[in-house]
Amino acid sequence: MTTVENSAPAQEIGRDRRRKEDRRLITGRTRWTDNQAITGLLHLSIVRSPFAHAEIGSIDTSAAKQVPGVVAVYTAADIGADAVQLPCAWPITKDMKSPQRPALAGSRVNFAGEGVAVVVARTAAAAKDAAELVEVDYSELEPVLDMEEALKEGATLVHPELGTNENAQWVFDSGEAGSGGSASEAIAAAEKADDQVVITRRFRQQRLVPVFMEPRSTVVDPTGEQLVMWSSTQVPHILKTMLALTLGLPEHKIRVIAPDVGGGFGGKIAVAPEEVVTLLVAQKLGKPVKWTETRSESLLTAHHGRDQIQDLTVAVTKDGVIKGLDVKLIADMGAYLGLVGPGVPILGAFMFNAIYKIPAYRFDCTNVFTTKTLTDAYRGAGRPEATFGIERMMDEVAVELGIEPMELRKKNWIKHEEFPFTTVSTLTYDTGNYEAATEQAMSMFDYDGLRREQQERRDRGDVKQLGLGISTFTEMCGLAPSRVLGSLDYGAGGWETAAIRMLPTGKAEVVVGVSPHGQGHETAFSQIIADKLGIPFEDVEILHGDTQSSYRGLDTYGSRSLAVGGIAMVKAAEKVVEKAKPIAAYMLEASEDDLEFTAGKFSVKGTDKGVGIQDVALAVFAAHDYPEGIEPDIDAHATFDPENFSYPHGTHLCAVEVDTETGFVSLYKYVCVDDIGTVINPLIVEGQVHGGLAQGIAQALYEDAPYDESGTLLSGTLVDYTLPSAADLISFDTANTSTPSTTNPLGVKGVGEAGTIASTPAVVNAVLDAVRQYGVKDIEMPTTPYRVWTALNSAKGTGAQSDEANVASPGAGLGSMAKSDSVKNQGGAL
Amino acid sequence: MIPASFDYVRPTSVAEAVQALADGGDDAKILAGGQSFIPVLRLRMGDPSLVVDLGGIAELRGVREEGDKIVVGAMTTHHDVTRDDLLNQHVKLISEATKTVADFQVRHRGTLGGALAHADPAGDLAAPTLALDAEFVIAGPDGERTVASADFFEDYFTTAIGPQEILTAIRFPKYTGWGARYEKFNRVAQAWSIVAVAATVKVEGGTITDARIGLTNMAGTPVRARGVESALVGQTMSEETVRAAAQAAAEGTSPTSDADAGSDYREHLAKVLTGRAVLAAAG
């Protein structure tokens, strides 16, 4: 028992803390899944189809089995992998068409890269050598590659048994929902009205690859009482439950561990076929087994993202007030449905209306099967697509009407005094201040100054023309209120759990259900707990990712870790304090009513008597003397189910230089002011924003995952998938405004996806702003130099005939080597 | 990385290396930095029976002055090329081009000789050697021979180096006092050149008295823009004369079409980039 010291610990929330997990992560001292070393571990190599669509005839494994070190070679049927139905947790409509998705293909492959057999060997090298010797007899079928063609009568079917390539059609109509008027009526009225116009545009969201840094890896040890799976996953809890449901295993006999995971961006929200194959092989052999993918396997077979055709129609008055919005989407699911794949475009349904007061809205999305790698969540998942659509459209409307693009936005956005605001798509935005974020961004950007510079360059006829692009975005994140998810037919809730264990020496172990893969949870969460319990930051340990310690959780995606998981931690901390209070009162020989808890100390009001919560932890451990009728335990567990999403917003402004001779686009200036409510750790927030911007800018300028006419992925290595590095980006100017969320006690909003969601349209709007003066109407993403130059030439009518051949360059490194006999025959040095 | 299995030797002299190649037969390959070869092995695009690693041969490294030539050992790394005073002073174009190769990690491992022998048409070092009239010193079972740069590059990934030969050194004439610029056009910093232009010019009293220009990725081999060179020589240095001369840059080229660029776009880029390269070199 001590007297209260006056030196309260410094406030942790809002403090720039360096990430405490980084020492082990960036020095390579952690153990990733692939580093797990178990005695007797066997290694897998998966034999994959080179064809997009083919019947599998015979599979000859005899040569592979002869390779020294090979333990077994299995086809799908040998391990029952063809009979598995990998789960899709989001049946978006009652009549959604859902093909069986096996762990290995049995009779037919439906995308290039699909697994057809697996080699098990004592070394990874032997497995790989043997996999090359497995002879598979394929009969090629027509690939299905074009979404619109796939929906036509008589189209080749990816899954003939479904009778259609359409997965589902999902419609929201504000007229029918009662949340607004009828968009079709608004558009029809605008067509007749003299003071209104109707504007229609088609935008294309290209296919992207998440490209997490750590390739996927899974180890399964079946030798203990519980089968243990280590996996590089974002969703250990969902994976555990889904493995039980999918494979009929008793859930209590499975333990899933996501150790440190090196990036995900949505790409590791999955119950992957390879995870199931690894488990099936481990069970069959009764031995521990490991599968680790190569980068090429990852690019080819880990799920992709985006890939939509967007048709937008806006009815707007000639002075710029939007009267109605109609959105028609076609979304490519790829060959199968991923864990949440069909729901990804549906998340966009609530976001096309964005920050604007749109009185009538209709959203109609058709999901399509093709013979490509399946698509699923990728950073932003549905919301970048929607934000791109509406923010590109706002610029198009501004151009059509001759209104300054920011002025057009101001005419339509929700004003700060109108919050909370229920939107036409039925969400209630709790807080926000678009004026404040915009004003600060415009000032940091020197918007007027750059407009002047733009004009000067035009007047001079500079080779490098300037373009300015705007994106005033909001998004829904912090997935999610369980009741809302239920109403959307999602297969789980959206709550999150945390537990706090107060150790005898006063240290705290905090067990969380969310599972980081690079976000800095351990640091940010320690800051929250340090403040809420009033104990030193260093005294907090965050435990995550192991279903044995963290048995309850819904994992990490949709910017939910802080806005949902963080609140569960706050609730658990409140319970710890609540449980400690009567014990502290007993120790202080005071009434509970006379105690106050500040900065980690219970003190008797008006006296200098007090006891620290860490001392209470020791007292209940000893348990020699404590009040009767109370358990000697101040540990606590809490589950938080949010009542609403969180709605970060912000204003992103981008200036680009377009080299009109070459078509090259260079970033010139990038400013963003994001309102993410309360900031726990500004340094981590800035890191999240920077990374998010890089990924969003990359969609605008660099990345694309195209297929050739036979259904082969053309960006199968990082030579071809043009990922930008720091050398290609500029120094970003970031800042925050804050209107704390009113739907959670920390006032926080998600930040993990904000930069990605916001930045893409800002960049493309800027590119078009630079070249619209030459008559260019649109440029598809990524706006490569070739596309910009071609657009400039077409617009200028100089008759450049550039047919964009979809072939890998003969002179661009590795892609070419396969085609070049000289590589093998030439005696010279490589 | 899990390549197909192969035998490996690391000789310590050129003679030993030549012997190893002779003993290794047709499937022997040379490791000379590995920045292209290792990915080829990793992706199993090649399966040599023997890899002869030149990394242990000290005599193949380093830059030295031999009379009116600067001689660069084939195993000199890109990093060492960029830092070399002799090259910076007398053969600035090769220094400038080498600075643009890939990234720090690649430049620390990759070698000048390895890149040239690999002869990727999108590689950055072939065009400068062509423009600079470099000579290639090649050792083989029959001794040493020298090949002019105009004869060295034969086709995509194909050079005059025979199956049992090793490129040992590259000899550059001195271009002391010449301006130089390697104008590289690619989509991201680490990507291969879509087109690039290597230009070095001599300007005296405002007049271009000599010019050497090589083009990257405008054909299966590097291409010398002789039309531009002759149009420049004797001209008074100005933006107009340079841009006019650069219009001849695509003559005699046969660029490919791919997703990054159609052949017409490459021809256009060659002209634009040639103008820029010459202006920067002269500037």
pLDDT for the residue numbered A550: 96
Closest Cα partner for A552 from A583, A514, A510?
A514
Tokens matching residue A641: 């189910």
Q: Which of A291, A725, A830 to mutate to test the interface with B (most CBs of B within 10 A)?
A: A830
Measured between CA atoms, the residue of chain B closest to residue A804 is B259
Arithmetic mean of pLDDT, A285-310: 98
pLDDT above 70 coverage of chain A, percent: 95
User: How far is Cα B92 from Cα B95, in angstroms, rounded to an integer?
Assistant: 5
pLDDT for the residue numbered B1: 85
Residue A785 and residue A685 share a domain: yes
Tokens matching residue A646: 């969180």
Query: Which residues on B lie below 8 Å from A124 (Cβ)?
Result: 2
User: How far is Cα A2 from Cα A612, in angstroms, rounded to an integer?
Assistant: 8
Report ipTM for this prediction. 0.97
Is the pLDDT reported for residue A5 higher than 60?
no
Domain chopping of chain B, boundaries: 7-53, 60-173, 179-282
pLDDT for the residue numbered B26: 85
Model confidence over A753-785: pLDDT tens digits?
A: 999 999 999 999 999 999 999 999 999 999 999
Residue A421 belongs to a domain = no
pLDDT for the residue numbered A339: 97
Residue B105 burial by Cβ neighbours in a 10 Å radius (0-12, 13-18, 19+) = exposed
pLDDT for the residue numbered A673: 98
Task: Provide the greatest CA pair distance for chain B.
Answer: 61
The CA angle A799-A800-A802, to the nearest 5 degrees, is: 135
Closest CB to B261 among A129, A786, A808: A786
Q: Which of A301, A326, A350 is the last residue of a domain?
A: A301
pLDDT for the residue numbered A809: 39
User: How far is Cα A328 from Cα A649, in angstroms, rounded to an integer?
Assistant: 24
Residue A677 and residue A540 share a domain: no
What residues are paired with B278 via a beta bridge?
none
Model confidence over A672-730: pLDDT tens digits?
A: 999 999 999 999 999 999 999 999 999 999 999 999 999 999 999 999 999 999 999 99
pLDDT for the residue numbered A797: 67
Residue A185 and residue A136 share a domain: no
For tokens 């630079």, the residue is A770
pLDDT for the residue numbered A807: 37
What residues are paired with A502 via a beta bridge?
A508
Secondary structure class of B224 (helix, strand, coil)? strand
pLDDT above 90 coverage of chain A, percent: 93
Residue A195 and residue A293 share a domain: no
Residues of chain B with pLDDT under 50: none
Count Cα atoms within 13 angstroms, Cβ side, for B7. 10
Q: Cβ of A27 under 8 Å from any chain B Cβ?
A: no
Binning pLDDT at 50, 70 and 90, where does residue A10 land?
confident
Tokens matching residue B218: 């405008």
**What single string gives the DSSP state of each residue in A780-795?**
PSS--HHHHHHHHHHH
Fold of B179-282: Enolase-like; domain 1 (3.30.390)
Q: Given its phi and psi angles, is residue A53 left (phi above 0), alpha (psi -120 to 50 degrees) or beta?
A: beta
Residue A660 belongs to a domain = yes
Binning pLDDT at 50, 70 and 90, where does residue A8 land?
low
Model confidence over A391-409: pLDDT tens digits?
A: 999 999 999 999 999 999 9
pLDDT, mean over chain A = 94
Contact B28 A129 (CB under 8 A): no
Residue A97 and residue A72 share a domain: yes
Class of the CATH-defined domain B7-53 = alpha beta
Residue A454 belongs to a domain = no
Range with the lowest mean pLDDT among A736-740, A817-821, B164-168?
A817-821
Architecture of the B60-173 domain: 2-Layer Sandwich (3.30)
Query: Which residues on A lie below 8 Å from B48 (Cβ)?
Result: 824
Residue A9 belongs to a domain = yes
3-state secondary structure A711-763: CCECCCCCCCCCCCCHHHCCCCEEEEECCCCCCCCCCECCCCCHHHHHHHHHH
Model confidence over A150-165: pLDDT tens digits?
A: 999 999 999 999 999 9
User: How far is Cα B125 from Cα B148, in angstroms, rounded to an integer?
Assistant: 15
Closest CB to A813 among B113, B185, B192: B192
Model confidence over A328-368: pLDDT tens digits?
A: 999 999 999 999 999 999 999 999 999 999 999 999 999 99
Q: What CATH number does the domain containing A624 carry?
A: 3.30.365.10
Residue A189 and residue A53 share a domain: no
What's phi and psi for A619, nearest 5 deg? -60, -40
pLDDT for the residue numbered A103: 98
Contact A827 B165 (CB under 8 A): yes
Residue A502 belongs to a domain = yes
Q: Which of A301, A327, A352 is the last residue of a domain?
A: A301
- Alpha carbon B65 to chain centroid distance? 20
Report the DSSP pairing between strands A289-292 and A217-221.
Answer: antiparallel
- The total domain count for chain A is 4
Tokens matching residue B182: 């390697």
DSSP-assigned letter for residue B261: B
Neighbours of A118 (CB within 10 A): 29
A:709-748 residues touching chain B, CB 8 A cutoff: 714, 717, 719, 722-725, 727-728
Binning pLDDT at 50, 70 and 90, where does residue A671 land?
very high
Residue A315 and residue A284 share a domain: no
Binning pLDDT at 50, 70 and 90, where does residue A28 land?
confident
Measured between CA atoms, the residue of chain A closest to residue B194 is A812
Structural domain including A56 reads 40-141+211-301
Inter-chain Cβ pairs, chain A and chain B, closer than 8 A: 180
pLDDT for the residue numbered B25: 86
Model confidence over A445-454: pLDDT tens digits?
A: 999 999 999 9
Tokens matching residue A379: 């950073």
Arithmetic mean of pLDDT, A121-127: 97
Burial letters for A341-369: b for 16+ Cβ neighbours within 10 Å, e otherwise?
bbbbbbbbbbbbbbbbbbbbbbbbbbbbb
Closest CB to B189 among A661, A727, A786: A727
Distance from CA of B51 to the nearest CA of A (A): 10
**What single string gives the DSSP state of each residue in A464-505?**
EEEEEEEEEEE--BS---HHHHHHTT-SS---EEEEEEE-TT
Measured between CA atoms, the residue of chain B closest to residue A714 is B259
Is the pLDDT reported for residue A803 higher than 80?
no
Q: What CATH number does the domain containing A221 carry?
A: 3.90.1170.50
Is the pLDDT reported for residue A804 higher than 90?
no
pLDDT for the residue numbered A810: 38
pLDDT for the residue numbered A796: 79
A:120-149 residues touching chain B, CB 8 A cutoff: 124-125, 128-129, 132
DSSP-assigned letter for residue B54: G
Closest CB to A786 among B27, B158, B260: B260
Cα Rg of chain B (Å, integer) = 19
Is the pLDDT reported for residue A813 higher than 90?
no
Residue A195 and residue A50 share a domain: no
Which residues have a Cβ under 8 Å from the Cβ of A99 and sit 6 or more positions away?
A: A110, A158, A159, A161, A162, A336, A337, A369
Arithmetic mean of pLDDT, A440-460: 98
User: How far is Cα A586 from Cα B128, in angstroms, rounded to an integer?
Assistant: 85
Tokens matching residue A266: 């949505």
- Alpha carbon A392 to chain centroid distance? 22
Q: Which of A580, A600, A633 is the last residue of a domain?
A: A633
Contact A805 B258 (CB under 8 A): yes
Binning pLDDT at 50, 70 and 90, where does residue A806 land?
very low
Residue A433 belongs to a domain = no
DSSP-assigned letter for residue A53: S
Binning pLDDT at 50, 70 and 90, where does residue A799 land?
very low
User: How far is Cα A110 from Cα A96, in angstroms, rounded to an integer?
Assistant: 19
Residue A805 burial by Cβ neighbours in a 10 Å radius (0-12, 13-18, 19+) = middle
Residue A813 and residue A783 share a domain: yes
Closest CB to A129 among B4, B21, B167: B4
3-state secondary structure A388-402: HHHHHHHHHHHHHHC
Is the pLDDT reported for residue A818 higher than 80?
no
Model confidence over A239-278: pLDDT tens digits?
A: 999 999 999 999 999 999 999 999 999 999 999 999 999 9
Model confidence over A45-73: pLDDT tens digits?
A: 999 999 999 999 999 999 999 999 999 99
Measured between CA atoms, the residue of chain A closest to residue B3 is A125
Q: Are B208 and B282 in contact (CB under 8 A)?
A: yes
Which residues have a Cβ under 8 Å from the Cβ of A198 and sit 6 or more positions away?
A: A187, A190, A191, A313, A314, A315, A316
For tokens 């998810």, the residue is A485
Q: Which helix (H) or strand (E) holds A34?
A: none
Residue A776 and residue A706 share a domain: yes
Residue A665 and residue A599 share a domain: no
Report the DSSP pairing between strands A496-502 and A508-512.
Answer: antiparallel
Residue A218 and residue A204 share a domain: no
Q: Are B194 and B187 in contact (CB under 8 A)?
A: yes
pLDDT for the residue numbered A9: 65
Is the pLDDT reported for residue A544 higher than 50?
yes
Q: Which of B19, B27, B49, B156 to mutate to test the interface with A (most CBs of A within 10 A)?
A: B156
Model confidence over A464-515: pLDDT tens digits?
A: 999 999 999 999 999 999 999 999 999 999 999 999 999 999 999 999 999 9
User: How far is Cα A387 from Cα A759, in angstroms, rounded to an integer?
Assistant: 9
